Amino acid sequence: MLLDDKSIYLMRLGDNALVLAQRLSEWCGKGPAFEEDMALTNTALDLIGQARMWLSYAGEVEGRGRDEDALAFRRDSHEFTNLLLVEQPNGDYANTVVRQFFFDVWHQLVLDALTRSADDRIADIASKAIKEVAYHLRRSIDLFVRLGDGSAESRRRMQAAVDELWMYTGEMFKADETEELLGAQGLACDPSTLKDAWLAMVHEVFAEATLELPAGEWMQKGGKQGRHGEHLGLLLAEMQFLQRAYPGATW
């Protein structure tokens, strides 16, 4: 049913931003340098703002009386529809940088396509978000290259992170029925159409970063359909604790 698919699609966009923002926030006060601490938390703040816009809209379309807070703090992990990529643990800083880079390239491409959505509100949210994401991507590319084409230690860690996270990148381009339906209606974009552009940019940046693109073709999937690993449960336990323990609490 179109309305359900639309709310699911909006939730996916919101969940990606929300879960990634939560991950980045875990670095708060623990960044490898003060500058990095500020950069990650600023990025997280942008993503939280975007998550609010997407989830508010998702709740309205869903029509079950759930607002942004209900969706963020009172859903269980099997109801979350984020990509598996964004729930992966921070690991070392190389892992965080690689995860962010893979996501930012995709995020910018998706938002660009959504600025042309037949749904005005989707186009409006995307037009606002893309300005911030362009900044995130710029930073990601810069850091990816600096650490990749850095010291022997940084390059080793970057390559290890790339090899580890590569299998989570495929999910970004695997269209399911929801995306096909919405794509046909001009409301969303078929993510498989973004793959070539993503690969082209990734290739360029990898070359400059002197890192090797993995050859593996097998990809993890299921995040968009609510099938997550154990990481998400732990992340939500921390993120949702306050609202679960004191339902309806406000500042």
Partner 1 sequence: MGDLRERSERVWGWLADVPDPEIPAVSIVDLGIVREVNWHDEPAGAVCEVVITPTYSGCPATEVIGRSIEEALRERGVERVRLQSRIAPAWTTDWMTSEGRRKLSEYGIAPPARRADGRQVIDITRLRRRTVDDAPVACPRCGSAHTAPVSRHGSTPCKALHRCLDCLEPFDYFKCH
**Smallest separation (angstroms) from partner 1 to the CB of 170:** 22
- Residue 32 CB, shortest distance to partner 1, in Å, is 14
Q: How far apart are CA 75 and CA 80, in angstroms?
A: 7
Closest distance of CB 101 from partner 1, Å: 12
Nearer to partner 1, 123 or 219 (CB): 123
**Closest distance between partner 1 and the C-beta of residue 7, in Å?**
19
Q: Nearest approach, Cβ of 48 to partner 1 (angstroms)? A: 5
Nearer to partner 1, 14 or 178 (CB): 14
Are residues 14 and 51 in contact, defined by beta-carbon separation less than 8 angstroms?
Answer: yes
- Cβ neighbors of 242 (< 8 A, separation 6 or more) are 73, 249
Distance between CA atoms of residues 113 and 187, nearest Å: 10
Using CB under 8 A as the criterion, which residues of the chain lie in contact with partner 1 when the complex forms? 35, 38-39, 42, 44-50, 52-53, 108, 120, 123-125, 127-132, 134-135, 137-139, 141-142, 145, 201, 204-205, 208
Nearer to partner 1, 162 or 201 (CB): 201
Closest CB 217 distance from partner 1, rounded Å: 25
Cβ distance to partner 1 smaller for residue 48 or 167: 48
Quick check: 210 and 152 in contact, CB under 8 A? no
Output the six-digit token pair for 59: 């709740």
Which positions ≥6 away from 76 have C-beta within 8 Å?
236
Give how far the C-alpha of residue 176 lies from the chain's centroid of Cα atoms, to the nearest Å. 17
Residue 86 and residue 23: Cα distance in Å, rounded? 8
Alpha-helix runs per DSSP H in 115-194: 120-148, 152-165, 177-184
Q: In which residue are the tokens 């359909």 written?
A: 225
Which CB, 85 or 201, lies closer to partner 1?
A: 201
Contact predicate 61/145, CB 8 Å: no
CB closer to partner 1, 129 vs 165: 129
- How far apart CA 235 and CA 233 sit, in angstroms, is 5
Residue nearer to partner 1 on the CB measure, 94 or 202: 202
Residue type, 21: A
Q: Smallest gap, in angstroms, from Cβ of residue 180 to partner 1?
A: 27
Structure tokens at 197: 């552009």
